Chain A
Amino acid sequence: MDISTLTIEKALELLARGEITSVSLVEACIEEIKKKDGEVHAYLEVFTDALEQAKIADQKRKDGDTGSLLGIPFSIKDNILIEGKRAGAASKILENYVAPYDATVIKNLKKAGAVFIGRVNMDEFAMGGSTENSAYGITKNPLDTSRVSGGSSGGSAASVSMHGALASLGSDTGGSIRQPASYCGVVGLKPTYGSVSRHGLMAMGSSLDVIGPIAHTVRDCEIVFNAIKGFEGGRDVYDSTSLSADEYKKVASEHVREESRPLRVGIVPALMNMGGVQDSVKKNLEESIELLKKAGCEIVDVELPNIGYSLAVYYVLMPAEVSSNMSRFDGVKFGSKSEGGDLLEDYLKTRGELLGKEVRRRIMLGTYVLSSGYYDAYYNKANVVRKLIADDFKKAFTKVDVILTPTAPSPAFKIGAHSSDPLQMYLEDVFTVTANLVGVPAISVPSGVVEDEGVKLPLGIQFTAPHCREDILFEVGKKFESVRVK
């Protein structure tokens, strides 16, 4: 079996025809992991029962089970809980923590018959854009190991890119699924806020976080999305911001997409003039626009007057939410602990010694913007501007079905390139944070390569659709894949 040409779609066909087994799929993935992961370091742990799970899946298929992901091997980001498995968000503070229950997405994947190969690396508590902030070492880009895999779901993207899994679940707070997918040459979907339950995901920015798939094709992401969204009996009782199927349908119906007219793709010319966007990225976007025209799309200029403030809004609201969410890690309730002389010293030492630098920086930044005297100037103001940005998108979506931007301002950068300047690292999120602020779905699709130092580095383009219109992302994404230069 050549795992390097397999997609979920293709594997499911072969499994159904009995030409391959889940066991052979998992063995092939483990073979790739053995070959490449010593260098790449995508996996924090390969589960010892992966083959056992695959055997069970094969037996279920024999017994007539037709789960939508039956026997498909997945890697799972280290901040999503699988009952009985270690989960640590790549942090020392959760050393030895074993998940006491399944995240809702894991329950859904188990129901669909997926096999879990292992848990994959990430920036500590999903804070970062390069997986350099993991307490367990960097995940390198499988396509050029002198470069980062992106982040925070770098392990997810790298594991799929190197064929160590057919798909992965990541989480996206400001671009953490889409940016690593773009850097590693795979597809990453950030679903509509609330369409996928956050129950069992370690919280970072609760008004921004969403779980989504990373896979080789748009169709594969669609298959996974259909399996992980939704909950039994309306909304997920454990996630009060989750949408029921009826609510999802109702919101989706607010955008009218007439099948008879061509798909309208909006572009934002002003965005490309922002500083920091590499020429190769601009050129690739121009080429992608031409390809979309060829595929029958109509290209329309749109204005998003306040989008330039997105990153500033994000870097106020996200740390504010981080500082609240991270207060639960105190050495008392779970995880590990650094002993002090009294309870206060226990807190200070545990959080001081076991949380990484980026996490501590964001907690303190959040504490600052929420503190008395600064709350109005930062937190309140950011919420007001967040609303303005959301209104801009609402207006734009009356003219177009989807908005096109690059996923990131550059291809994967060299390891260490931004590590001494956090602000520079934050600027990598410039195109992705808006979808989180607005709550709309967005997908990154590979759009070609740029040659740098003799290495071909992948680039990605991002489509953003109105709330609950993942279907439009899949439609335009597949169209683009069909005309893309391989």
Chain B
Amino acid sequence: MSVTEADIKKLASLARIQISEEEVKTFRNEIDSILGYVDQLNTVSASVSAHSQVVPEHRNQVREDISHSDTNPNPEVLVDAAPSSESGFVKVKKILN
């Protein structure tokens, strides 16, 4: 098995997901079996270097920096969708001590 329980805990922490000890075990088995399956990509002809880059077909599109307030929802509606807000701002717990 290539993925360890420590790896799973690290991934969960990077992804900001709390998981139980029991889930660490099941996720480890499942993720390991999925990675085992996708490892077949390494059998694709040797001429394909893992480092060769593919230029994506879709390029980033920029648009004029103009307000679409006529068609966009009112900012208050968006702020109201937050679990916690105050005076038109999204509210979070104190970050710096």
Across the interface, which residues of A come within 8 angstroms of B72, CB to CB? 101
Interface residues on B, range: 35 or more
Contact, CB under 8 Å: B82 / A333 = yes
Contacts from B to A (Cβ < 8 Å):
3, 7-8, 11-12, 14-19, 23, 27, 30-31, 33-35, 37-42, 44, 48-54, 57-58, 60-61, 63, 68, 72-73, 77-78, 81-84, 90, 92-95
What's the Cα separation between A333 and B90 when bound, in Å? 7
Indicate with 1 or 0, residue by residue over A325-345, a CB within 8 angstroms of chain B CB atoms: 000001111111100001110
* A472: Cβ under 8 A from any B Cβ: no
What's the Cα separation between A245 and B33 when bound, in Å? 44
User: A-B pairs with the 5 shortest C-beta distances?
Assistant: A352-B18, A240-B61, A100-B73, A337-B83, A348-B18
- Contact partner of B42 (CB less than 8 A), chosen from A368, A381, A423, is A381
Interface residues on A, range: 35 or more
* A383: Cβ under 8 A from any B Cβ: yes
Known contacts being A360-B17, A367-B14, is A377 close to B42, with CB within 8 Å? Answer: yes
Contact, CB under 8 Å: B11 / A237 = no
Selected interface stretch from A111-119, A161-169, A254-262, A310-318: A310-318
Across the interface, which residues of B come within 8 angstroms of A383, CB to CB? 54
Contact, CB under 8 Å: A335 / B83 = yes
- Contact partner of B81 (CB less than 8 A), chosen from A98, A309, A330, A387, is A98
What's the Cα separation between A332 and B53 when bound, in Å? 36
A contact face: mostly helix, strand, loop, or mixed:
helix
**Residues A201-252 near B (CB distance < 8 A):** 207, 235, 237, 240-241
Across the interface, which residues of A come within 8 angstroms of B40, CB to CB? 309, 312
How many residue pairs, one in A and one in B, have C-beta atoms under 8 Å apart? 147
Assuming A241-B58, A337-B83, A346-B93, what are 18 further A-B pairs, CB within 8 angstroms? A97-B81, A101-B72, A101-B73, A240-B58, A309-B41, A311-B37, A312-B40, A312-B41, A323-B15, A332-B83, A342-B93, A349-B18, A361-B27, A368-B3, A377-B42, A388-B44, A388-B48, A426-B34
B contact face: mostly helix, strand, loop, or mixed:
loop
Closest Cβ of chain A to B82, distance in Å, is 6
Across the interface, which residues of A come within 8 angstroms of B31, CB to CB? 361, 364-365, 368
Across the interface, which residues of B come within 8 angstroms of A98, CB to CB? 81
Known contacts being A364-B27, A384-B50, is A343 close to B44, with CB within 8 Å? Answer: no
- Contact partner of A352 (CB less than 8 A), chosen from B3, B17, B48, B90, is B17
Contact, CB under 8 Å: B50 / A364 = no
- Contact partner of B92 (CB less than 8 A), chosen from A309, A343, A377, A387, is A343
Contact, CB under 8 Å: B44 / A381 = yes
Name A326's closest neighbour in chain B (CB-CB): B15
Contact, CB under 8 Å: B38 / A348 = no
Name A387's closest neighbour in chain B (CB-CB): B54
Closest Cβ of chain B to A469, distance in Å, is 17
What's the Cα separation between A98 and B77 when bound, in Å? 10
Contact, CB under 8 Å: A351 / B53 = no
Name A235's closest neighbour in chain B (CB-CB): B61
What's the Cα separation between A100 and B78 when bound, in Å? 7
What's the Cα separation between A420 and B33 when bound, in Å? 13
Contact, CB under 8 Å: A316 / B41 = yes
What's the Cα separation between A382 and B40 when bound, in Å? 11
Across the interface, which residues of B come within 8 angstroms of A268, CB to CB? none
**Can you list 9 residue pairs at the A/B interface with Cβ under 8 Å?**
A312-B41, A315-B37, A364-B11, A365-B34, A371-B14, A381-B41, A381-B48, A384-B54, A426-B34
Contact, CB under 8 Å: B44 / A309 = yes
Across the interface, which residues of A come within 8 angstroms of B83, CB to CB? 331-332, 334-337
* A463: Cβ under 8 A from any B Cβ: no
Closest Cβ of chain A to B54, distance in Å, is 5
What's the Cα separation between A348 and B3 when bound, in Å? 22
Contact, CB under 8 Å: B54 / A422 = no
What's the Cα separation between A387 and B90 when bound, in Å? 42
Name A375's closest neighbour in chain B (CB-CB): B50
* A353: Cβ under 8 A from any B Cβ: yes
Across the interface, which residues of A come within 8 angstroms of B33, CB to CB? 422-423
Known contacts being A309-B41, A342-B93, A384-B50, is A100 close to B34, with CB within 8 Å? Answer: no
Q: Which of A309, A315, A349, A381 has the most CB of B within 10 A?
A: A381
What's the Cα separation between A355 and B90 when bound, in Å? 22
* A13: Cβ under 8 A from any B Cβ: no
* A378: Cβ under 8 A from any B Cβ: yes
Name A370's closest neighbour in chain B (CB-CB): B14
Closest Cβ of chain B to A375, distance in Å, is 9
What's the Cα separation between A147 and B15 when bound, in Å? 34
Contact, CB under 8 Å: B60 / A380 = no
Name A335's closest neighbour in chain B (CB-CB): B83
What's the Cα separation between A426 and B31 when bound, in Å? 13
Known contacts being A332-B92, A348-B18, A351-B17, is A385 close to B44, with CB within 8 Å? Answer: yes
* A68: Cβ under 8 A from any B Cβ: no
Closest Cβ of chain A to B18, distance in Å, is 3
Name A305's closest neighbour in chain B (CB-CB): B45
